[in-house]
């Protein structure tokens, strides 16, 4: 839907930050709209203030998503990246939450960051001007004096709006995810909770579409009405997709990684020489990579044919596999637990990148390999004829 072709802007704490093409359109519209607002505050710097405010607004959204990401990482969920786009931002988690508590904490982290930003901006505005000016600017009242107070007022108001919007109990908004976490806790069934939250999301989306039509019909605000209806249409569509995904997940929830893996994996010892690895494994099997294990059979990484070939032939007898392998630290997306559900494999980076992922037990011992073809066959078997 978005994010796949985003433009990378930076990396923050190792997390890829990208922007979708639609972000530039919204950035332009916000700057154009704010230029008129700031024109009433200071005519000479209106455009500059509009640019600064728009960029700080998107920085607020980025901090909101980093809040989600930080809590997710703290709970053992890797972040594949954060993308800014037309409707704000999205932190792409490598997998779904494994408990309602984790789901609640991740969902609530973003709104909490947004609330803190709004309070800080309001406090700074009150500190550098009178309380009345700060409140006026926070209410988007262009009579506020001072460019700095006006910018802080805008950031206060827009973050409050962002907070209220995100807390609407309509999946996949943060409020909808919080509702899902509560329903999950009460029912003990994640898929049932997702279907409940998705229905709330569909209802909320339809209400927004109706509100957009009403806004245009009674006030003549065509742009505002269309925008509100468009957001509602998107939310309803996303909720329908989430509901369908929950229904499908319900059909495969009994399938575990151990059910689809090849239980006789071929692995190279990390102490093997590159010459032995080349002759006994790569030339024998013709594969492009192999898992690497230590003396106790624990997965420690993967080694590719390309890594072997990068070492001069006359040095391969002396050099060990451990020196050229891609080491697995447990968060590289190369492994999955035996008892994990099949659903946890969907979207796994290692499965997408290598075409397979290693299945390990609780001690990290390699027990099998799950190929993308095996996953595809299991998913096809779950689809009703």
pLDDT digits (tens, 9 = 90+) for 81-128: 888 887 778 888 877 788 999 999 999 999 999 999 999 988 888 777
**pLDDT recorded at residue 2:** 41
Which pTM does this prediction carry? 0.69
> pLDDT over 70 for what percent of the chain?
89
Question: How far is Cα 320 from Cα 38, in angstroms, rounded to an integer?
Answer: 65
**CA distance from start to end of the chain:** 27
Coil, strand or helix at 7: strand
DSSP tag of 137: H
Q: How high does pLDDT run on average in the chain?
A: 84
**pLDDT recorded at residue 79:** 85
Region 257-382: CATH code: 3.10.580.10
19-42 residue pLDDT tens: 888 888 888 888 888 887 777 666
Segments making up each domain of the chain, as ranges: 7-252, 257-382
Q: Is the pLDDT of residue 55 over 80?
A: yes
DSSP letters spanning 48-76: HHHHHHHHHHHHHHHHHHHHHHHHHHHTT
Dihedral (CA of 189, 191, 197, 202) sign: negative
191-213 residue pLDDT tens: 889 889 989 889 988 998 999 99
**pLDDT recorded at residue 132:** 54
Locate 360 and state its tokens: 């390990």
Q: Is the pLDDT of residue 137 over 60?
A: no
Burial of 137 (0-12, 13-18, 19+ CB in 10 A): buried
**pLDDT recorded at residue 331:** 60
């Amino acid at each position: 839907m978005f994010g796949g072709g985003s433009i990378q802007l930076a990396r923050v704490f190792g997390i890829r930050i990208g922007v979708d093409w639609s972000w530039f359109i919204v950035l332009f519209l916000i700057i154009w709209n704010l230029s008129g607002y700031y024109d009433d505050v200071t005519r000479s710097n209106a455009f500059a203030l509009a640019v600064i405010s728009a960029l700080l607004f998107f920085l607020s959204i980025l901090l909101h998503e980093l809040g989600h990401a930080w809590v997710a990482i703290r709970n053992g969920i890797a972040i594949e990246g954060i993308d800014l786009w037309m409707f704000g931002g999205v932190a792409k988690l490598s997998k779904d939450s494994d408990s309602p508590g984790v789901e609640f904490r991740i969902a609530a982290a973003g709104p909490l960051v947004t609330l803190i930003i709004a309070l800080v901006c309001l406090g700074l505005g009150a500190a550098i001007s009178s309380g009345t000016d700060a409140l006026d600017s926070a209410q988007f009242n262009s009579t506020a004096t001072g460019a700095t107070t006006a910018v802080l007022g805008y950031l206060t108001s827009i973050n409050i709006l962002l907070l209220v919007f995100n807390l609407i109990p309509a999946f996949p908004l943060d409020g909808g995810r919080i509702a899902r976490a509560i329903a999950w806790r009460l029912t003990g069934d994640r898929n049932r909770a997702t279907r409940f939250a998705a229905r709330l999301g569909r209802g909320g989306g339809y209400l927004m579409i109706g509100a957009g039509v009403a806004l245009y019909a009674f006030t003549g605000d065509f742009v505002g009405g269309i925008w509100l209806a468009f957001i509602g249409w998107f939310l309803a569509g996303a909720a329908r997709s989430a509901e369908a995904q929950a229904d499908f997940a319900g059909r495969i929830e009994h399938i575990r990684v151990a059910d689809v893996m090849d239980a006789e994996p071929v692995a190279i010892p990390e102490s093997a020489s590159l010459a032995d690895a080349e002759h006994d494994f790569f030339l024998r099997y013709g594969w492009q990579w192999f898992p690497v294990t230590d003396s106790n059979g624990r997965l420690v990484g993967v080694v590719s044919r390309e890594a072997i070939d990068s070492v001069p032939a006359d040095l391969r007898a002396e050099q060990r596999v451990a020196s050229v392998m891609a080491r697995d630290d447990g968060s590289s997306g190369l492994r999955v637990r035996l008892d994990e559900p099949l659903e946890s494999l969907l979207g796994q980076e290692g499965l997408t990148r290598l075409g397979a992922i290693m299945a390990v037990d609780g001690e990290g011992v390699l027990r099998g390999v799950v190929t993308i073809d095996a996953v595809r066959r299991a998913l096809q078997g779950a689809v009703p004829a």
